[in-house]
């Protein structure tokens, strides 16, 4: 039984992430009145890129080549720490939440350093924006983790994230709502979605994340895109675990419930992207600051 759960966990985090992108794109198409690409289009794109050749600029070093690999590996490793639905993650120990956050940061570090390695001024600009926003997003996650760990009395992600229940919503619902607001902003900012960044933009001056991966091609680009999808999946699961009380006795029903709510979350992201315009760049730090304040409020409410 335990082995089966681990296998399902691995299958979900490896196979499902691109489907989330498919759902987001389909929702956006629906809002725009188009039919939209098929749900499996992100998979086709990934395989198409895998079959292509790679071009490396002569100014780049091994750092550039290592970038996508390390990013993808770090993100996949982070996905092993997070509980999905009612099921415990394959790896869990006290304090693994810090490892979880910094695995994601390691991935980002290698993306930015690979961008700097190309020597392109545009990519340097994107890297600078990316790290600026991430150092504002990181406190939000940590304040949220502190609050949740205080609520659940546990120091590991598996304890923190499976604590949410209807009884908890009744006693400290206000704090959970505030955390939800802050974490949703971080979810959108970290995954460079609208209103923080547009994943489909191709104008260098406005890009943040996309500008850093301009020099990657072929399998490298495929790994970058896949890594971004996994990151969206992992952070989306984190967000859902904080909020939704997954309390069903039947294991199979638990998995189905989790998958269903992930699709719902993808739909919600699609709706947000359809109804909102991109923020002006100077407004982004202000938005992240508000997210920080939301989670700080939640902490005050829990501590007092």
Would you count residue 297 as binding other proteins (CB under 8 A)? Answer: yes
- Tell me the window of 8-16, 85-93, 109-117, 293-301 that interacts with other proteins (CB under 8 A): 293-301
Q: Which residue number, 90 or 285, has a Cβ lying nearer to other proteins?
A: 285
289 binds other proteins (CB under 8 A): yes
Q: Which is nearer to other proteins, 276 or 289 (CB)?
A: 289
What is the closest distance, in whole angstroms, from the C-beta atom of residue 270 to other proteins in the complex?
A: 25
Total binding residues toward other proteins, as defined by CB under 8 A: 16
Q: How far is the CB of 122 from other proteins (least distance, A)?
A: 27
Residue 257's alpha-carbon distances to 91, 231, 233, 273, in angstroms, are 22, 21, 15, 24
- Least separation in angstroms between residue 146's CB and other proteins is 15
Q: Which residues of 267-288 are buried (b: 16+ CB within 10 A; e: fewer)?
A: bebbebbeeeebbeeeebeebb
Subset of 247-286 contacting other proteins (CB under 8 A): 285-286
| Secondary structure of the chain in HEC code, one letter for each residue | CHHHHHHHHHHHHHHCHHHHHHHHHHHHHHHHCCCCCCCCHHHHHHHHHHCCCCCCCCCCCHHHHHHHHHHHHHHHHHHCCCCECCECCCCCCCCHHHHHHHHHHHHHHHHHHHHHHCCCHHHHHHHHHHHHHHHHHHHHHHHHHHHHHHHHCCCCHHHHHCCCCHHHHHHHHHHHHHHHHHHHHHHHHHCCCCCCCCCCCCCCCCCCCHHHHCCCCHHHHHHHHHHHHHHHHHHHHHHHHHHCCCCCCCHHHHHHHHHHHHHHHHHHHHHHHHHCCCCCCCHHHHHHHHHHHHHHHHHHHHHC
What minimum distance in Å lies between the beta carbon of 289 and other proteins? 6
Residue with Cβ nearer other proteins (77 or 146): 146
Check binding of 294 to other proteins (CB under 8 A).
yes
Instruction: Give me the least distance between CB of 300 and other proteins, in Å please.
Output: 5
Q: Does residue 290 bind other proteins (CB under 8 A)?
A: yes
Residues in region 209-228 near other proteins by CB under 8 A: none
Output the six-digit token pair for 57. Answer: 């600029």
CB 286, min distance to other proteins, A: 5
Binding mask 169-188 for other proteins (x = CB under 8 A): -x--xx--xx----------
Instruction: Using the rule CB under 8 A, give the single segment among 7-15, 144-152, 218-226, 296-304 that binds other proteins.
Output: 296-304
* Contact stretch for other proteins (CB under 8 A) within 71-79, 250-258, 268-276, 288-296: 288-296
Residues 152-171 that bind other proteins (CB under 8 A): 170
Rounded to 5°, the CA angle 147-191-49 comes to 145
- What residues make contact with other proteins under the rule CB under 8 A? 170, 173-174, 177-178, 285-286, 289-290, 293-294, 296-297, 300-301, 304
């Amino acid at each position: 039984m335990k082995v089966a759960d681990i296998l399902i966990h691995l299958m979900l985090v490896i196979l499902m992430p691109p489907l989330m992108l498919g759902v987001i794109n389909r929702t956006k198409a629906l809002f725009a009145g188009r039919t939209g690409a098929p749900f499996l289009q992100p998979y086709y794109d990934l395989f198409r890129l895998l079959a292509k050749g790679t071009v490396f600029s002569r100014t780049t070093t091994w750092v550039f080549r290592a970038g996508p690999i390390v990013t993808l590996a770090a993100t996949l490793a982070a996905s092993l720490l997070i509980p999905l639905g009612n099921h415990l993650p394959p790896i869990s120990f006290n304090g693994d939440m810090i490892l979880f956050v910094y695995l994601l940061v390691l991935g980002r570090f290698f993306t930015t350093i690979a961008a700097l390695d190309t020597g392109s001024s545009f990519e340097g600009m994107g890297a600078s924006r990316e790290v600026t926003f991430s150092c504002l997003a990181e406190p939000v996650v940590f304040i949220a983790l502190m609050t949740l760990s205080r609520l659940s009395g546990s120091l590991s992600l598996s304890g923190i994230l499976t604590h949410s229940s209807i009884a908890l919503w009744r006693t400290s619902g206000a704090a959970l709502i505030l955390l939800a607001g802050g974490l949703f902003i971080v979810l959108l900012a970290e995954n460079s979605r609208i209103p923080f960044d547009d994943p489909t933009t191709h104008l260098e001056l406005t890009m943040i994340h996309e500008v850093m991966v301009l020099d990657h091609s072929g399998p490298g680009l495929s790994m970058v895109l896949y890594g971004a999808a996994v990151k969206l999946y992992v952070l989306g699961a984190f967000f859902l675990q904080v909020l939704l009380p997954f309390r069903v006795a039947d294991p199979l029903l638990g998995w189905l419930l989790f998958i269903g709510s992930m699709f719902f979350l993808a739909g919600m992201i699609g709706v947000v992207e359809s109804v909102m315009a991109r923020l002006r760049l100077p407004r982004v730090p202000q938005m992240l600051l508000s997210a920080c304040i939301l989670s700080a409020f939640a902490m005050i409410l829990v501590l007092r």
